[in-house]
Amino acid sequence: MRILFLQDTIDSESIGVAYVSAVLKEAGHNTELFILSLERDIDSRIREFSPDIIAFSIVVTKQRFYERLGGYIKSRFPDIKIVAGGPFITLEPKFVNKGFIDFGIIGEGEEAVVELVNSIESKSSIDGIKNLVFKRDNELIVNELRPLVEDIDRLPLPDRGLYLKYNSFRNLTVKRFISGRGCPYSCNFCFTRRFRDMYHNKGKYVRKHSVERVCEEIERLRSVSVVNTVHFSDDIFFTNKEWITKFYDIYPKRIGIPFQCNLTASIIDEDVVRLLKEAGLRGVGIGLESGNEEIRKSVLNKRFSNDEIKRVAGLLHKYGIEIYTYNMIALPKESIDDALMTLELNREMRVGITQCNISIPFEGLPLTDTAIDDGLLDSEGIASEMDKRPETPIIKVEHPEQFERLFLLFPFLVKTRLKIRTIKWLLRMRLNFIYRILHRITYIWNMKRYYDISLISGFKIFLDIKKGERYLKEFFKRCR
């Protein structure tokens, strides 16, 4: 069968889609991917490929877009079946009720997709396919979850070729990889927590590929495109000391390319840092989220202290490793002073690149439930709140306009020595237009640093993204 994946923008490649494509090809099917923001006439492209099935991986916050896209596809190509998977369908299987989706896949989808496509091809029953969601006689049927794949090495290497036909991916110097699946932590705002609950008694949730297999994947990609830096996008890279020791023995000799990964403060000690540095570690991403210890602990369930994180930052600097942080503002009961503590802590840690987001309350998570109970969020309106601009607070906070300005200025302010009282004054000024420009300049600067490219190349990436966003807005209007 012919399966076409559609993705909205070039934000990043979906390794999940690449895995699903790989298992489908292994089962003898033909796959293709189109990125809408890079394709000018999607209708002709669909006609050219002539798929039997169109598939989306829907990430949380993009459901509205895919809902419109699905409606658009169904109105023009009613005979093509639509299959949707990804984190959003897993969290919200009832989305399949929307009508445009023929089949939803929840959880890790490789085996379920192959069974589904084979059944569609042979016109056999789909009833017993685990992880499948579908509608029958207006009733939503959510089949049981199958156990997790225990040995993830038995899955074929992800099909990177899907993305490499686009220059934007082929020429990226930093390429993403995943060395394992699952996260051992339970942060109150993160949907990983719900996935782990779903998979209770369905096998080990945190799994690693063998180091040999990780190296093989990097070697394959390096043989067909540029890979100057490896980015391990695992939720948390270091979950197992034995694995890290093996990685230390094999990776530098076999690959020898600098790498970045995500770690959490509570597991970083000098031995780990030294080992990883000698293996080629160049940068570490840390989910700091809040600079207010109490909020971090009680609202977010992140269990490390400010002293601990400063100690870790000192260690990373000692070994010349760059720090990237992920931060969230406009949290339940957070004041602007609390949010400024987050800014200050980033400064004290001397971070290289910061990312600051407005907190997003996903349904069914403790942070969201608390915000609803405290009257800071309307449970009925969560979905529509997701359509707001990225700088607009979703949870009710005092002075939301100051949070918007802080969101725009955060990565810039982290790099300045401006006094907190001056920053507070800036946050009261209605200068959003200027702050937006500063936000974009900082973004381009960070691109340059992160990808180790020229400012002009950073600017080009920014323009590509903006062009894609504009195109999608137009496309979105046509889908209404």
**CB atoms inside a 10 Å sphere around CB 127:** 11
Residue choice 158, 287, 291, 332 for contact with ligand SF4 (CB under 6 A) = 287
Q: Which is nearer to ligand SF4, 196 or 310 (CB)?
A: 196
Residue 365 near ligand SF4 by CB under 6 A: no
**Cα–Cα dist 175/172, whole Å:** 7
Stretch that binds ligand SF4, among 190-198, 224-232, 251-259, 443-451 (CB under 6 A): 190-198
Residue 235 near ligand SF4 by CB under 6 A: yes
Residue 183 near ligand SF4 by CB under 6 A: yes
Q: 92 near 80, Cβ under 8 Å?
A: no
Residue 427 near ligand SF4 by CB under 6 A: no
Stretch that binds ligand SF4, among 4-12, 150-158, 179-187, 439-447 (CB under 6 A): 179-187
Stretch that binds ligand SF4, among 8-16, 52-60, 187-195, 442-450 (CB under 6 A): 187-195
Q: Which is nearer to ligand SF4, 103 or 238 (CB)?
A: 238
Residues 6+ apart with CB under 8 A from 263: 236, 237, 238, 284, 285, 286
**Residue 360 CB, nearest approach to ligand SF4 (Å):** 12
Taking CB under 6 A as the rule, which mask of x and - marks residues 136-165 in contact with ligand SF4?
------------------------------
Q: Which is nearer to ligand SF4, 302 or 439 (CB)?
A: 302
Backbone angles phi, psi at 29, to 5 degrees: -95, 170
Residue 265 near ligand SF4 by CB under 6 A: no
Stretch that binds ligand SF4, among 186-194, 209-217, 394-402, 453-461 (CB under 6 A): 186-194
Residue 190 near ligand SF4 by CB under 6 A: yes
**Residue 231 CB, nearest approach to ligand SF4 (Å):** 15
Burial grade of 418 (CB within 10 A; 0-12, 13-18, 19 or more): middle
Residue choice 185, 237, 259, 407 for contact with ligand SF4 (CB under 6 A) = 185
Burial grade of 223 (CB within 10 A; 0-12, 13-18, 19 or more): exposed
**Residue 378 CB, nearest approach to ligand SF4 (Å):** 25
**Residue 476 CB, nearest approach to ligand SF4 (Å):** 29
Q: Which CA distances in Å does 134 have to 7, 81, 99, 142?
A: 22, 12, 10, 7
Residues 6+ apart with CB under 8 A from 337: none
Residue 295 near ligand SF4 by CB under 6 A: no
Q: Which is nearer to ligand SF4, 51 or 285 (CB)?
A: 285
Question: Of 321, 320, 323, 357, which is closest to residue 342 (Cα–Cα)?
Answer: 357
Question: Of 181, 185, 186, which is closest to residue 202 (Cα–Cα)?
Answer: 181
Q: Which is nearer to ligand SF4, 77 or 326 (CB)?
A: 326
**Residue 302 CB, nearest approach to ligand SF4 (Å):** 7
**Residue 362 CB, nearest approach to ligand SF4 (Å):** 11
Q: Which is nearer to ligand SF4, 100 or 185 (CB)?
A: 185
Stretch that binds ligand SF4, among 93-101, 110-118, 184-192, 444-452 (CB under 6 A): 184-192
Residue 179 near ligand SF4 by CB under 6 A: no
Q: Which is nearer to ligand SF4, 34 or 185 (CB)?
A: 185
Q: Which is nearer to ligand SF4, 171 or 266 (CB)?
A: 266
**Cα–Cα dist 468/239, whole Å:** 37
Q: Which is nearer to ligand SF4, 296 or 439 (CB)?
A: 296
Residue choice 148, 187, 313, 406 for contact with ligand SF4 (CB under 6 A) = 187
Stretch that binds ligand SF4, among 23-31, 167-175, 185-193, 307-315 (CB under 6 A): 185-193
Residue choice 7, 90, 192, 239 for contact with ligand SF4 (CB under 6 A) = 192
Q: Which is nearer to ligand SF4, 67 or 289 (CB)?
A: 289
Size of the site for ligand SF4 (CB under 6 A): 11
Q: Which residues lie near ligand SF4 (CB under 6 A)?
A: 183, 185-187, 190, 192-193, 235-236, 264, 287
